[in-house]
């Protein structure tokens, strides 16, 4: 079972550690995964600290909608016209390792199903 580590994504938001940024606006940041699982593997995160999907409240509806619209735009910009997959791992059993909600945008190859 994966170990939850400290919130290093907050350090990426605050530019305390570097990342290859794909998109940034007031509500969210998108950056390329350091260990890509597909030719395109971008993480889209709210700037607001939300530990995990299960912690979402009605106040988060706008930012969650927003990160999906950013995913649509990035998929276009990054050439994923053949398709893409969005993954959001919630808590340890699903493999979440960073305690800051993040949407994985994966594409550029055939993606198997079911996932591991
Ligand atoms: P999770 O397993 O929590 O759903 O996804 C965390 C993701 O963050 C993993 O795909 C992992 O490769 C990525 N990651 C971990 N540390 C860093 C880092 O310092 N920089 C970047 N760009 N990605 C990271």
Sequential pLDDT tens for the chain (116 residues) = 455 668 999 999 999 999 999 999 999 999 999 999 999 999 999 999 999 999 999 999 999 999 999 999 999 999 999 999 999 999 999 999 999 999 999 999 999 999 98
Order of strands, sheet of 21-24, starting from the edge strand that comes earlier in the sequence: 21-24, 28-32, 40-46, 103-107, 84-87
pTM for the structure as a whole: 0.96
Q: How far is the CA of 34 from the centre of ligand 1 (A)?
A: 6
For residues 91 and 109, give the distance between their C-alpha atoms in angstroms, rounded to a whole number: 26
Q: How is residue 75 written in tokens? A: 């998929």
Is 53 catalytic? The answer is no
Ligand 1 interacting residues, C-beta cut-off 6 A = 8, 19, 31, 33-35, 43, 89, 95-98
Using the atom order of ligand 1, give the atom closest to the CA of residue 87. 4
Q: How far is the CA of 60 from the centre of ligand 1 (A)?
A: 22
- Burial (CB < 10 A; 0-12, 13-18, 19+), residue 115, is exposed
Is residue 30 within 8 A of residue 23, CB to CB? The reply is yes
End-to-end C-alpha distance for the chain, whole angstroms: 13
Pick the catalytic residue from 32, 41, 53, 102: 102
Q: How far is the CA of 25 from the centre of ligand 1 (A)?
A: 20
90's CB contacts (< 8 A; 6+ apart) are 52, 53, 54, 96
For residues 92 and 111, give the distance between their C-alpha atoms in angstroms, rounded to a whole number: 23
């Amino acid at each position: 079972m994966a170990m939850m580590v400290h919130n290093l994504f907050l350090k990426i938001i605050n530019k305390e550690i570097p990342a290859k940024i794909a998109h940034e606006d007031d509500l969210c940041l998108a950056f390329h995964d350091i260990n890509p699982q597909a030719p395109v593997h971008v993480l889209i995160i709210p700037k607001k600290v939300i530990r995990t999907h299960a912690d979402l409240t009605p106040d988060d509806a706008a930012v969650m909608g927003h990160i999906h619209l950013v995913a649509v735009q990035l998929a276009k910009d990054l050439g994923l016209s053949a398709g893409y997959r969005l993954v959001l791992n919630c808590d340890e059993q699903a493999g979440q390792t960073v305690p800051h909600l993040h949407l994985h945008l994966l594409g550029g190859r055939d993606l198997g199903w079911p996932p591991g």
